[in-house]
Amino acid sequence: MKTKLFSLVCALVASVSLSSASAQSDNGVKMGLFNHLAIGVNASTLGYGFDVALPVTPYLALRGGLEIMPSIKFDTDVDADLDFSGYGSYSTSINLEGDTKRTQSYLIANIYPFKRSSFFLAAGAYFGGAKIVGAKGQADDELVRLLQQYPNLAGGVVIGDYTIPVERDGSVSGSIEVKKFRPYFGLGFGRSVPYRRVGFSFELGVQLHGTPEVKDKNGAINFRDLINDAEAEDDFSEIVDKLTIYPVIKFRLTGRIF
């Protein structure tokens, strides 16, 4: 008798537990219009970042945040060639310091084909952070003296097949920049607003940033006007024109606040 009673109690407890778990998974967490909030941190090919996410329906969620590329500095010596307006030329080298520091924001929609699907399609855009790489340097005293003495001295720092002008004070400043508004498309696995308290997602995507531009402090440099060799121009133009997308691989850890 005691054994049967114990078995009945166990069955009742198990039944209540299963009903509670079912209610929690199906009814306790309903993804409606902005009725939950999740905060996430991530690491990606864009650097590291954080975001907030809100559901719209079980099939759609919105997330927005910041991506920060850390400041990775590197330096190298580059050739500096200047022409004395037909009176000769001067060649030297200038040390340039490059920096990858970059901050950009984004707003992306995750589309889930099924109500409790982990697979999603993503579409949205990134804003700001147009500068991919910045570089600056300073000429030595001898070159600065020549720049001050000969106002018509022309030339600059040669990087690959294009040239960044050397200013009269001997400074060199340039960057590679893309569009400030960049559409984004991707796909992945994981809920941006998880049904459980903690979730994980993986994402592959592309940021469409357009053709990069080489700029000095005065604006864009038309590298086609700075290349003398037609074959080099064609090769360089072809490479730059194809660098129109930025691949994104992202790992995200998220927690649902409520």
**Domain map of the chain by residue range?**
31-256
| Nearest CA among 15, 32, 39 for reference residue 255 | 39
pLDDT of residue 162: 62
31-256 domain in CATH 2.40.37.10?
no
Q: Given a cut of 60, is residue 34 above it in pLDDT?
A: yes
Average pLDDT taken over every residue of the chain: 79
Q: Given a cut of 80, is residue 4 above it in pLDDT?
A: no
Q: What are phi and psi of 6, to 5 degrees?
A: -65, -40
pLDDT of residue 227: 40
Residue with the larger pLDDT of the pair 171 and 121 = 121
pLDDT of residue 238: 52
Residue with the larger pLDDT of the pair 154 and 86 = 154
pLDDT of residue 195: 92
CA 254/CA 193 separation, integer angstroms: 8
Residue with the larger pLDDT of the pair 155 and 26 = 155
Please answer whether residues 202 and 186 qualify as being in contact, where contact means their C-beta atoms are separated by less than 8 angstroms: no
CA 111/CA 108 separation, integer angstroms: 10
pLDDT of residue 80: 79
Q: Given a cut of 60, is residue 200 above it in pLDDT?
A: yes
pLDDT of residue 219: 65
Q: Given a cut of 90, is residue 205 above it in pLDDT?
A: yes
Residues sharing a CB contact under 8 Å with residue 72, sequence separation 6 or more, in sequence order: 99, 100, 101
Please answer whether residues 176 and 212 qualify as being in contact, where contact means their C-beta atoms are separated by less than 8 angstroms: yes
Average pLDDT over residues 133-159: 79
pLDDT of residue 139: 84
For residue range 73-131, list pLDDT tens digits in order.
Answer: 888 887 777 776 666 677 888 888 888 899 999 999 999 999 888 999 999 999 999 98
| Nearest CA among 181, 62, 65, 49 for reference residue 122 | 62
Please answer whether residues 247 and 46 qualify as being in contact, where contact means their C-beta atoms are separated by less than 8 angstroms: no
The 8 Å CB, 24+ separation contacts for 19-25 are: 25/195
